[in-house]
Amino acid sequence: MQHPLASAVNAWYRENARDLPWRRDGFSAWGVLVSEFMLQQTPVARVIPYLERWLERWPSPRDLAAVPAGEAVREWANLGYPRRALWLHRAAEQITEVHGGVVPRDVESLLALKGVGDYTARAVAVFAYGDRHPVVDTNTRRVIARAVHGMGEPAPPSAPRDLGDMEALLSDDDIEARTFNAAAMELGAIVCLARSPRCAECPVRGLCRWVAAGAPAYAGPRKSIQKRYEGSDRHVRGLIMAELRAADIPVTAQEITRLWPDAAQRDRALAGLVADGLAVETGSGYVLP
Q: Where are the alpha helices (DSSP H) in 69-224?
A: 69-76, 83-98, 107-111, 118-127, 138-147, 159-169, 174-190, 209-212
List Cβ neighbours of 14 (8 Å cut-off, separation of 6 or more): 179
Q: What is the residue-wise DSSP string for 168-192?
A: HH--SSHHHHHHHHHHHHHHHHHTS
159 closest CA partner among 122, 125, 132: 122
Distance CA 9, CA 204 (A): 7
Which is catalytic among the residues 36, 75, 176, 186?
36
For the chain, give the number of residues: 289
CA distance 30 to 65: 13
CA distance 202 to 204: 5
Annotated catalytic residue 15: no
DSSP secondary structure, 99-110, as one string:
STTS---SHHHH
Residues 6 or more apart in contact with residue 219 via CB below 8 angstroms: none
Q: What angle do CA 206, 187, 167 make, to 5 degrees?
A: 85
Bridge partners (DSSP) listed for residue 280? 287
Which H or E run includes 281?
strand 280-282
Active site residue ranges: 36
